[in-house]
Homo-oligomer: A and B are copies of this chain.
């Protein structure tokens, strides 16, 4: 009917939406700081997450509907979407804690995943850790990614992985286009592909790990070669 603006769940955008330029102090809140969430809202968020977690654990992520989560949490459907934007957002929120820990591991954790090991070894470890991650969170990852096509690639989680892989490639003496190669390597670790390989192709975890190691060794030069 009017401007078909995207329905982003990001709070900042809502905040800046239709503000008439009154005497409101022109302050852009620091990114990352959340302007005081009302107590009932916070309570609802945790209630919803708990309900969702329970339902996912019981029935599997793929059959959990927003209606059921809302009903089970004792809130209206609008509340779910207010907090999480869309279904994928809710799933991502469920993954958030593990995801955060995972990122922490490869950014600041111990070698070979974290800093200290040569970049090629870190890449190998990264892939193995990602396979493990997918093994554990499989269905949830699938549910979190299956939104608009290409949405997962635009999201901050992917951006973090991408930045990490690019950094490792640059630390190695890889001569080619690092961004391109990073996307290719991450494509090899996408949950959709990996779950297909595990379930349909019946590849063992070992086969995946050795395939990945081979791949990285073929593509990424040893640090000493620089």
Q: Does A192 contact B (CB under 8 A)?
A: yes
Task: For chain A, residues 156 to 186, give those with C-beta under 8 angstroms from any C-beta of chain B.
Answer: 176-177, 179-181, 183-184
Q: Does A136 contact B (CB under 8 A)?
A: no
When distances are taken between beta carbons in the complex, the residues of chain B under 8 Å from A203 are: 179-180
Chain copies in the assembled complex: 2
When distances are taken between beta carbons in the complex, the residues of chain B under 8 Å from A214 are: 176-177
How many angstroms from the CA of A96 to the CA of B146 in the assembled complex? 24
Classify the interface of chain A: helix, strand, loop or mixed: helix
- Nearest to A190 among chain B residues (CB) is B187
Given known A149-B192, A190-B187, contact A180–B200 (CB-CB < 8 A):
no
Q: Does A207 contact B (CB under 8 A)?
A: yes
Q: Does A94 contact B (CB under 8 A)?
A: no
How many angstroms from the CA of A203 to the CA of B183 in the assembled complex? 12
How many angstroms from the CA of A218 to the CA of B179 in the assembled complex? 16
Q: Does A116 contact B (CB under 8 A)?
A: no
Contact check, A180 vs B219: say whether CB atoms are below 8 A apart: no
Contact check, A181 vs B211: say whether CB atoms are below 8 A apart: yes
When distances are taken between beta carbons in the complex, the residues of chain B under 8 Å from A176 are: 211, 214
Tally of contact residues, A, Cβ under 8 A: 33
Q: Does A188 contact B (CB under 8 A)?
A: yes
How many angstroms from the CA of A188 to the CA of B193 in the assembled complex? 11
Q: How far is the CB of A200 from chain B (nearest CB, A)?
A: 6
Q: Does A95 contact B (CB under 8 A)?
A: no
Contact check, A207 vs B180: say whether CB atoms are below 8 A apart: yes
Q: Does A226 contact B (CB under 8 A)?
A: no
How many angstroms from the CA of A192 to the CA of B196 in the assembled complex? 17
Q: Does A150 contact B (CB under 8 A)?
A: yes
**Contact residues of A with B, CB < 8 Å?**
142, 145-146, 149-150, 153-154, 176-177, 179-181, 183-184, 187-188, 190, 192-193, 195-197, 200-201, 203, 207-208, 210-211, 214-215, 218-219
13 A-B pairs besides A150-B195, A187-B187, A187-B193 with CB distance below 8 A are A142-B149, A145-B149, A146-B149, A150-B196, A153-B200, A177-B214, A179-B201, A180-B211, A181-B211, A181-B215, A183-B196, A184-B184, A184-B187
